[in-house]
């Protein structure tokens, strides 16, 4: 059994924000693999299904980003699942738009959602980092991540989300390298640039 959590902020005003790309990925996975409709549990929206032959729970914390660990921690303790069976999808400023990297453990690089999760379950969970690019200066980061994706971003965003959903069974069974490779092969070669707000 695994838990895949996507990070974002609840509410319609945040739905298309760059910071909510983790939520968007969860929606695509649930739709592509016929998950049961989400229920309100563990301070979030929780859905159950299968990725390949792996029993999988998908969680979208509804606590706002900086308290994401409350939902993830409650689930992890209730089901007593190993921390390495927790995978968190989140936006990553330090990756170019459309790039994806999976890693286990490490720092939080100023990401409040990751900081909260690490506080609740420790740092050794797996992270699927979804590149959104950097606005150029630290002063512009807050406004950038809480702005909607631009129309031009959908040239790389939609194929990325589709590819994540299609290949999700690989990350579910622990083949992080295979998951990254399949997505890299799917995506357009054209280099995307972040919108300058």
Tens digit of each residue's pLDDT (9 = 90 or more) over 47-65: 999 999 999 999 999 999 9
Residues of the chain with pLDDT > 90, as a percent, come to: 91
Nearby residues of 142 by Cβ (< 8 Å), 6 or more positions away = none
For range 148-164, the mean pLDDT:
96
Please name the fold of domain 2-186: Rossmann fold (3.40.50)
DSSP-H helix ranges across 85-189? 112-121, 141-145, 154-172, 176-186
The length of the chain is 197
For range 14-24, the mean pLDDT:
97
- The residues assigned a catalytic role are 19
CA distance 114 to 97: 19
Residue 65 burial (CB < 10 Å; 0-12/13-18/19+)? buried
Give me the residue spans of the domains in the chain. 2-186
For range 147-162, the mean pLDDT:
96
What is residue 192's predicted lDDT score, i.e. its pLDDT? Answer: 46
């Amino acid at each position: 059994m695994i838990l895949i959590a996507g990070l974002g902020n609840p509410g319609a005003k945040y739905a298309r924000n760059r910071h909510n790309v983790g939520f968007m990925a969860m929606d695509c996975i649930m739709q592509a693999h016929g998950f049961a409709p989400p229920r309100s549990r563990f301070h979030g929206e929780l859905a159950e299904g299968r990725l390949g032959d792996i029993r999988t729970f998908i969680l979208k914390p509804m606590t706002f980003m900086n308290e994401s660990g409350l939902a993830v921690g409650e689930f992890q303790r209730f089901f007593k699942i190993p921390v390495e069976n927790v995978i968190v999808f989140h936006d990553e400023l330090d990756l170019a738009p459309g790039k994806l990297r999976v890693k286990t453990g490490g720092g939080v690089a100023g990401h409040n959602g990751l900081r909260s999760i690490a506080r609740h379950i420790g740092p050794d969970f797996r992270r699927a980092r979804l590149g959104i690019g950097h606005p150029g200066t630290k002063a512009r980061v807050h406004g950038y991540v809480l702005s909607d994706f631009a129309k031009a971003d959908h040239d790389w965003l939609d194929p990325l989300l589709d590819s994540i959903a299609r290949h999700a069974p690989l990350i579910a069974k622990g083949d992080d390298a295979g998951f990254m490779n399949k997505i890299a092969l799917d995506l357009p070669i054209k280099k995307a640039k972040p919108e300058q707000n």
